[in-house]
Chains A and B, each alone.
Chain A
Amino acid sequence: MREGIEKVDGEAISDAVAVQRTLAGERDAYRVLVERHSRSVFRMAYRMTGNSHDAEDVVQEAFLRAYQKLEKFAGEANFGTWVYRIAANYAIDRLRQRNVEKARRRMPSNPGEEGFEVDPLSTAQDPAPSPERLAGSTQLAAKMKDALEALTPAERTAVVMRHWEGCAIEEIAAVLKSNSNATKNTVFRAVGKLRRALEPFAGSNQAARAMGTES
């Protein structure tokens, strides 16, 4: 227990010192924060936006905005959580903007441009996948991608932050600028929509089997 506290404190102090030095005019100190938190912000951004190009934009923009607002940070939370929230806010704006553009164009989505990229690693998880599983996995990944695309930006943010990133409801509520109860309902609604979209796969752990994650 004590070790945990020390670890949290140690992390907070290191980030806090880097923030103070940046504020004192030492721009290079910010590099420590960027190098330390970029990868976790990228993971979340990728899950929110569904593609590397947008995710990388979100990461850069989040660190630029965090730098501009650093005076307001004043140690209110841990820097990692703070920049993560800025990234989530920017990602949700980007999703909304993307939905508006999509509606304007009224064109079917192009899997190469939007949605999850088909990652060759997804099929390489199982060393010897059966043809059925391989087909099921690719099919399910595509179906999941469609289901995520069909969620509203708020629902997608809620489900990504809650079920992928393990964020607390209050943290998600802060990003969605909503209250805890409404946020919980957004999470429920999102999971319900995903469940109905994946109904054919979702019976008796079929989805997990198809993705090769059955315990």
Chain B
Amino acid sequence: MKHVTEEELIAYRDGETNRREAIGAHLKECPECARELEQIEAVLSALNALPVPEPGEDYGQRVWWQIASRLPEKKGKWWEGLFLPRRMVAFATVAALIVLAFFAGRVTRHSTGGGDVADASKVRERVLVVAVGEHLGRSEMILMELVNAQPGPGQKTMNISATQKRAEDLVEENRLYRQTALRDGDAAMASTLDELERVLLDIANSPDEVTPAQFESLRKRIESKGILFKVRVVNQDLREREKARKPSPEQEKTGVKERNKA
């Protein structure tokens, strides 16, 4: 057999030839062609070894700050975003809450008579407080799981896809609660939800399989922002607000008597 050409050897090395078996057989018998293939391999290995500087963990953020001011607003159609799958789920959740709040308001109005508008608004707020509290509880659980997880001895990768999926589901919900908090003028809540959203996005956008080093870096990012603590504080505050709103058994009895009298 004739010697193999350089092109054929490169194609053989790249798995791009349909003469693989014939070339392989020739290489076993022809030291000259085998040496030539070795040289090609050596050149490509040397090419691979050329260093590329590491731009740093925060490189993406830096690029964003460099280009953000040069990106014009896109005039999207307002309804386009509503039909995104996750947004639809969150939209449905919030819609259900509003309906619930509405009916709760009607029930309160029938039973109490006067002050119905104020009561309906209180009930609506209460439903939202409970919903946000549950949302924060679920977020706290995810953060706790990640902060406390440890790779096993000799474990090369960790699969965090299940946690990621849950984080991804919470992002959309979080967004709507944040917007509601902003609309209601609750700046402290909106700010915590904003920080939480960034952390949830960070988790959702990490690879499914992470090395212990990558996992450690994610854990450090979560810890450095102190988000777990902030979420706990806000959640505790919500619970207290909720407790303060609930009448004590004594007040409840008096209330019932009053209503019966009326």
- Cα A84 to Cα B9 in complex, Å, equals 29
CB-based contact A64/B71 at 8 Å: yes
From A6-14, A92-100, A103-111, A127-135, give the one contacting chain B. Answer: A6-14
CB-based contact B60/A36 at 8 Å: yes
**Given contacts A46-B53, A192-B6, A164 and B208 within 8 Å (CB-CB):** no
CB-based contact B44/A191 at 8 Å: yes
- Of all chain B residues, the one with the shortest Cβ separation from A67 is B71
Contact string, A17-39, partner B, CB cutoff 8 A, digits 1/0? 10011111111001110111111
Indicate which residue in A7, A10, A188 contacts B11 across the interface (CB closer than 8 Å): A188
- Of all chain B residues, the one with the shortest Cβ separation from A7 is B208
**Given contacts A25-B73, A38-B63, A119 and B46 within 8 Å (CB-CB):** no
Instruction: Tell me, rounded to whole Å, the shortest Cβ–Cβ distance linking B176 to chain A.
Output: 13
- Of all chain B residues, the one with the shortest Cβ separation from A30 is B71
**Given contacts A39-B60, A64-B71, A21 and B81 within 8 Å (CB-CB):** yes
Residues from chain B with Cβ under 8 Å of A159 in the complex: 47
- Cα A59 to Cα B61 in complex, Å, equals 12
A208 interface contact, C-beta 8 A:
yes
We find that the number of chain B residues with CB closer than 8 angstroms to chain A is 55
CB-based contact A164/B47 at 8 Å: yes
Task: Tell me the A99-123 residues at the B interface (CB within 8 Å).
Answer: 116-117, 119, 121-122
A169 interface contact, C-beta 8 A:
yes
CB-based contact B84/A20 at 8 Å: yes
CB-based contact B53/A25 at 8 Å: no
B201 interface contact, C-beta 8 A:
yes
**Given contacts A32-B201, A60-B63, A141-B50, A10 and B6 within 8 Å (CB-CB):** no
- Of all chain A residues, the one with the shortest Cβ separation from B39 is A202
> A interface vs B, CB < 8 Å?
3, 6-7, 10, 14, 17, 20-27, 30-32, 34-39, 42-43, 46-47, 52, 56, 59-60, 63-64, 67, 70, 116-117, 119, 121-122, 125, 140-141, 144-145, 159, 162-164, 169, 184-185, 187-188, 191-192, 194-195, 198, 201-208, 210-214
Extra inter-chain contacts (20) besides given A24-B77, A144-B50, CB under 8 Å: A10-B161, A10-B165, A17-B84, A20-B80, A23-B74, A34-B63, A38-B55, A43-B52, A47-B50, A67-B71, A116-B50, A119-B53, A144-B47, A145-B50, A184-B11, A188-B10, A191-B10, A195-B40, A207-B43, A208-B42
